[in-house]
Amino acid sequence: MRVLLIGANGYLGRYVADRLLADPAVQLTALGRGDDADVRFDLATGSPGALTRFLDAVHPGVVVNCAGATRGGARELTRHNTVAVATICESLRRSSCGARLVHLGCASEYGPSQPGSSTAEDAVPRPGGPYGVSKLAATELVLGSGLDAVVLRIFSPVGPGTPAGSPLGRLAEAMRRAMQSGDNELKLGGLGVQRDFVDVRDVARAVHAASLSAAQGVVNIGTGRAVRLREAASVLARVAGFGGALHELDSPPARLVIPGPSPEHPVGSPPATSPYPDGCGTWQQADVRTARDRLGWRPRIGLEESLADIWMEAACRI
């Protein structure tokens, strides 16, 4: 099976590439903007015609799209998350390769949900910010393309490679600073948010399964269990060996607040704050029955292992 992977150097794409390369039946070609891609191509600015010519030359059986942007203004998010997907869909429609498209969406497309509920694929999307809007527009393009296509809506990916600016990445970095400076307490805010954390390696397994399946439409990829950030912080403290106290500050429930000195926020400056970037409010939990029934996929890696890997990377930073 010849697979064209778009966005192989991103957080999710790296693990998808590893998973696909582990399958001896897969011949993988990576397309991206970086110099280390097999083929350099910028989806946000490249023409559908140019990509069509490449598809006709390579003739992949599956195209996997892991590319996109998670941060930036509305214009930038639209360019990288929506326009890029429009280019992929139009190129596949023009091409003679007849490739199947596996597109990575995200749970931000759903927006806030009722606490205690599990969000299924038939839920009406109500994204709470420009990121979710740009990703939902991309999903609608894929679903309306007439292609053999499936959209995997990834909930909150965690594990090795988790960006340092993400909520769990910031928790790990704050704990590293506290242990390095000998602080016996860590003050955190905004830990009431609950998310469905799924390990990035399990996401890669889901992409592999979707590539081999005939499933179409939207498929949620999560664990089916929401975890409070407060609980994740406690687990992280345990795997890190942090023996100090965790004190929760009063703060808006959808914000993670980590006060204290840092190069960007020296002593005496206001606390460093970072809004939870997905626009999904205080609760999100996946209904994952479709992934089980149509992909034969279940998550395997628990949150403690994911957090241990996040901590290992944070602890190695100088």
What lies within 8 Å, CB to CB, of 75 at 6+ separation is: none
Residue 253: per-residue pLDDT: 47
The residues facing 137 across adjacent strands are: none
Position 97, amino acid:
C
Residue 254: per-residue pLDDT: 47
| Whether the model pTM is above 0.85 | yes
For residue 50, the Cα-to-chain-centroid distance in whole angstroms is 28
Residue 259: per-residue pLDDT: 45
Residue 146: per-residue pLDDT: 97
**Is 291 in contact with 297 (CB distance < 8 Å)?**
yes
- Phi, then psi, of 239 in degrees rounded to 5: -70, -25
**pLDDT tens for each residue of the chain, 318 residues long:** 999 999 999 999 999 999 999 999 999 999 988 877 898 898 988 999 999 999 999 999 999 999 999 989 999 999 999 999 999 999 999 999 999 999 999 999 999 999 999 999 999 999 999 999 999 999 999 999 999 999 999 999 999 999 888 889 989 999 999 999 999 898 888 789 999 999 999 999 999 999 999 999 999 999 999 999 999 999 999 999 999 998 887 655 445 555 444 333 333 333 333 335 578 999 999 999 999 999 999 999 999 999 999 999 988 875
Please state, in angstroms and rounded to a whole number, the distance separating the CA atoms of residues 318 and 290: 43
Block residue for tokens 């209904």: 287
Structure tokens belonging to residue 236: 């992280």
Eight-state DSSP code of residue 292: I
Residue 272: per-residue pLDDT: 35
Please state, in angstroms and rounded to a whole number, the distance separating the CA atoms of residues 151 and 156: 16
Residue 105: per-residue pLDDT: 98
